[in-house]
Each structure stands twice: as C-alpha cells, then as structure tokens.
C-alpha cells in the first residue's frame, strides 16, 4: 500500500498526472454568461457542459429549455439617480481609456483600435484586480450610484420589470455590476454625507480602514436588498451573481452576500499564476457558507479568445491548464464569461472534456 502511494506521488511529482486528470474529475455544474442565440449555439453550449445559462428573450429561453439547460431570465444591474463619482485623477483616466475625447464621427474600427491601445498602455484590468493605480472601469455608461437609491425605488422598479416578464420555468436571475467603478467607493455628495453620518454614529475616525468597511458593507447591503426583494416576489427563483468589479480592500467578500450561486473570480482574463488560481478556488468554495449556510461559491473564469484585444488572451491550452488548476483545488462548479468563447473551435473541445457529460 505504502509503495503504491509512493509510486503515485513520484508519478505526480514527475508531472505524469495531475490528480484531476488521473481520477478523471469533471465539473458538475457550469454557469454561462453567454446566451444561446441560435439552435446551433444552444446545442453546442449543452454539449460543452453548460447547465445554467443567462437568457435575454423568449427565443433564447426556449432554446435553453430544449437543450436541457436551466434558463436565468435576464441580468439586473444597479439603478441609481446618477453615475458614481470617482476622484479627479480616476475620472480623467476613465475618460481617456473609454475614448470620451474622441470624435464621435470617427469610424468605429478606428475608434476601437485607439481605445484598445490606450487600455493596454494604462494596463487596464477591465474591472478585475488592479495592477497599477488608478484603474477605473472600462465601461462607457459607468455604474449608477446604487447607494444613493435611498428608498430602493429605482432599483425595485427595474427589478420588478424583469421579474414580471419572466416565463414559467425560469430558474432564476443573474446580477452584475454591483460594485465601485474605482474598486474602492463612490464620492458623490450623497455617499460622502452617508459616510460622515456613519462615522458620527459609530464614533469612528476617518481612516482608510473605516472607509473600506463602510463601502464594503454598503455593497453587501445592496446585494442583499436586491436578493431579498427577488425572494419575496419569486421565492422559487435562484440568484446567480458574478462579484464585479473587484473591491480592492477585500477581493473575495462575495460570501457575505445571500446569493444562491456566488461567482467569484479565481482566474481573470489576464493570466494569473497557478498558485493564485488554486488559492482563490479553495477560498471561494471552502468559505462559501461562512455567512449564509445555503450559499454556494462558484469559481469564475474570465476568457478572451481574441489575441488583438486589450482584454487579455488565452489559448485553449491556457484554458485547459486553468481548469485543471481549479479542479485540483477542489472546484467542481464553474462560471464563464464571455460566454460565446465557450463554443469557439479549440475552446469548445476543452470545455466538453472537463464539463461535458
């Protein structure tokens, strides 16, 4: 017995097998942010192993059901009276990397080329963990200041519209963009006023640490308010989220939310070292129930298949290596964006191998 074990260890050390490959372990649940827009796509998503999928309309809903995938009816993003406010430096960079200064009449391809070049130059991580500061979000519209939606009236209205239109058989709803454009907080008048009140009530000093806790707790409160409202209206619905953009003071705070399926980034669009992927996977799955016993932590992997994009690039071999890292760290569920990449030639085969039936 001991000899067998020793031989096994030698084989692993020699790189003959990773444990995941050896015991043929696969993912058992697979969430896709890509929508099944055609019959062909839907069949491929299902063959790649997708079990839970975002849909935006009735046609996509029907395709998901036909191919045995659970449909999540639309994606809710925060509502607020105005866009979040960042520091002047962050605003300036935000305008630059989103091409706000460029001539509106410029051809789209030319515009995109400039934007990609600027984002690469400024090392933009597209809302993922920053590698330089500042690193504001790459999103033309930005994110609403949800903290200023004080009576929740704007968000509730938007959310109810989604919930009311959901067809029978809907598995749940996706949530996205609940976070800060600058990874730290929003500095609009309303938020600054609320923060000052918080310090006064809690008898706290204005320190970075206290600011971080304030903004983190506003995030969690907002998530849970949205989730509680969904549960009240549709107790049968599940809530699947991707914690995004990154909250720098506490990257993996998602387990504080009441989401049923809490997708947290373990592998970003820009390639992370294997030990970081494994460490994050262990935390996302192992600490999923720290605050809410029914929550499930889902490892999220970002994937761009365009070598010319400023959003990073992974080959099918890179993806395979990352999937094996997640499996070897105990991850058995997966969430992918951008969804369409799952069914592209070369990538499709990798997903089918590790996620397909």
269 and 304 in contact (C-beta within 8 Å)?
yes
Q: x/- contact string, 146-175, with Zn ion (CB under 5 A)?
A: -xx---------------------------
Assess 186 for contact with Zn ion (CB under 5 A). yes
How many residues sit in the footprint of Zn ion (CB under 5 A)? 6
Q: Which residues contact 62 (CB under 8 A, 6 or more apart)?
A: none
Q: Does residue 191 belong to the site contacting Zn ion (CB under 5 A)?
A: yes
Q: How far is the CB of 301 from Zn ion (least distance, A)?
A: 31
Residue 301 interacts with Zn ion (CB under 5 A): yes or no: no
Helix axes 316-328 and 274-286, enclosed angle (nearest 10) = 50
Strand partners, 263: 242, 298
Cα 214 versus chain centre, distance: 22
Q: Which is nearer to Zn ion, 63 or 86 (CB)?
A: 86
Closest approach of Zn ion to the CB of residue 192, in Å: 8
Task: Give the list of residues 6+ apart from residue 310 with CB closer than 8 angstroms, or none.
Answer: 115, 116, 117, 119, 120, 124
Residue 145 binds to Zn ion (criterion: CB under 5 A): yes
Q: Does 219 bind Zn ion (CB under 5 A)?
A: no
CB of 180 to Zn ion, least distance (A): 9
The answer to the question of residue 266 lying near Zn ion (CB under 5 A) is no
Gap between the Cα atoms of 133 and 124, Å rounded? 9
* Residue 253 DSSP one-character state: G
Q: How far apart are CA 347 and CA 353, in angstroms?
A: 10
Say whether residue 181 binds Zn ion (CB under 5 A): no
Least separation, in Å, of the C-beta of 189 and Zn ion? Answer: 8
Stretch that binds Zn ion, among 44-52, 140-148, 250-258, 277-285 (CB under 5 A): 140-148
Q: How far is the CB of 188 from Zn ion (least distance, A)?
A: 3
C-beta closer to Zn ion: residue 55 or 219: 219
50 binds Zn ion (CB under 5 A): no
Distance of alpha carbon 306 from alpha carbon 304, whole angstroms: 6
Applying CB under 5 A, among 188, 303, 326, 334 the residue interacting with Zn ion is 188
The CB-of-195 to Zn ion minimum distance in angstroms stands at 9
CB 271 within 8 A of CB 308: no
Q: Check residue 86 for interaction with Zn ion (CB under 5 A).
A: no
For 35-73, give one letter per residue: b (16+ CB within 10 A) or e.
bbbeeebbebbbbbbbbbbbbeeeebbbbbbebebbbbb
Binding site for Zn ion (CB under 5 A): 145, 147-148, 186, 188, 191
């Amino acid at each position: 017995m001991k000899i067998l074990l020793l031989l096994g260890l030698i084989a692993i050390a020699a790189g003959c097998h990773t444990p995941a490959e050896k015991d043929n372990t696969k993912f058992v649940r697979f969430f896709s942010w890509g929508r099944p827009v055609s019959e062909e796509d839907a069949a491929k998503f299902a063959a790649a192993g997708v079990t839970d999928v975002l849909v935006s309309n009735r046609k996509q809903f029907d395709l998901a059901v036909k191919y045995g995938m659970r449909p999540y009816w639309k994606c809710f993003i925060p509502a607020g009276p105005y866009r979040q406010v960042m520091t002047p430096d962050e605003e300036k960079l935000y305008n630059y990397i989103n091409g706000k200064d460029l001539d509106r009449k410029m051809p789209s391809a030319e515009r995109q080329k400039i934007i990609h070049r600027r984002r690469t130059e400024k090392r933009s991580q597209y809302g993922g963990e920053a590698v330089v500061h500042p690193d504001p979000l790459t999103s033309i519209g930005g994110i609403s200041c949800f903290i200023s939606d004080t009576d929740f009236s704007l968000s509730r209205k938007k959310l109810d519209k989604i919930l009311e239109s959901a067809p029978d058989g809907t598995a749940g709803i996706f949530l996205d963009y609940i976070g800060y454009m600058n990874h730290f907080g929003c500095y609009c008048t309303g938020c600054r006023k609320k923060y000052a009140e918080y310090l006064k009530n809690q008898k706290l000093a204005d320190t970075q640490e206290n600011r971080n806790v304030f903004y983190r707790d506003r995030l969690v409160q907002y998530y849970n308010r949205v989730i509680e409202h969904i549960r009240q209206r549709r107790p049968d619905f599940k809530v699947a989220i991707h914690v995004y953009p990154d909250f720098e003071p506490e990257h993996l705070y998602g387990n504080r939310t009441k989401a049923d399926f809490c997708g947290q980034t373990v592998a970003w669009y820009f390639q992370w070292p294997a030990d970081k992927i494994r460490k994050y996977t262990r935390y996302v799955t192992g600490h999923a129930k720290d605050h809410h016993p029914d929550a499930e932590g889902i490892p999220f992997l970002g994937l761009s298949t365009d070598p010319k994009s400023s959003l990073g690039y992974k080959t099918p071999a890179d993806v395979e290596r990352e999937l094996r890292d997640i499996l070897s760290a105990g991850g058995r569920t997966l969430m992918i964006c951008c969804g369409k990449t799952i069914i592209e030639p070369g990538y499709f085969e990798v997903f089918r191998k590790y996620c397909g039936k």
